[in-house]
Amino acid sequence: MDEKIIKEYLPLVKSIASKYSNSSVPFEDLVQEGTIGLWKAWQRYDESRGAKFSTYASYWIKKRILDAISKDRKNSLNAIHYDEEITNAAGSRQEEVVPEDKVRLPENFPEKEKNILTMLYGRDGQGSYDLAEIGEKMGLPRERVRQLKEKGLRRLRKIGIIIKE
């Protein structure tokens, strides 16, 4: 790939990468992934199809950046899962139970999310459960419990309640 092309389209890569700079992946890594996407677009571009190169390249740049973010999230979630397994196996899980009167979930909070967060953080007086145990109790797969937990945490952050994990 010609150095001229990289210099010409690097602002496009940076522009697209900046839209995803709030992710856990550093901006420089996003630019690098975007540049790889630009290179892939350059390899596959077919001028006879009538699309502008910048339009075509945008797709590959975004795809590469989103793949990097997805891979980073997947690795982070796996690390959390393995951490749960290690602490459960060791039997030395330390729980920080936040008294229910300090953090109250809004009345209009979805019931499933409320139940999951309550069981996860141990505010029901019965100790806390891991995602698999909550899934068994609620009749849901572990992954769905994780998704609802994340949704509930996002909802809490939106209204200004932050729960540290």
Give me the mean pLDDT over the 18-44 stretch.
91
Q: What's residue 9's pLDDT? A: 92
Model pLDDT for residues 136-156, shown as the tens digit of each residue: 999 999 999 999 999 988 888
Q: Please indicate whether the domains covering 3-90 and 95-165 agree at the CATH topology level.
A: no
Average pLDDT over residues 60-75: 87
Q: Which fold has domain 3-90?
A: Four Helix Bundle (Hemerythrin (Met), subunit A) (1.20.120)
Q: What is the pLDDT of residue 17?
A: 94
**Of 142 and 75, more confident:** 142
Considering the entire predicted model, what is its pTM? 0.47
pLDDT tens-digit readout, 2-25: 788 888 999 999 999 999 988 888
pLDDT at 100: 44
- The pLDDT tens digits for 84-139 are 544 454 444 443 334 444 456 777 888 898 888 888 876 545 567 889 999 999 99
Alpha helical stretches, state H, the chain: 3-18, 27-44, 53-90, 111-121, 131-138, 142-158
Topology at the third CATH level for domain 95-165? Arc Repressor Mutant, subunit A (1.10.10)
Write down the domain spans for the chain. 3-90, 95-165
Q: What is the pLDDT of residue 164?
A: 57
Q: b vs e for 19-31, b when ≥16 Cβ sit within 10 Å of the residue's Cβ? A: ebeebebeeeebb
Q: What tokens appear for 121 in the block?
A: 């953080």
- Rounded to an integer, the average pLDDT of 23-46 is 91
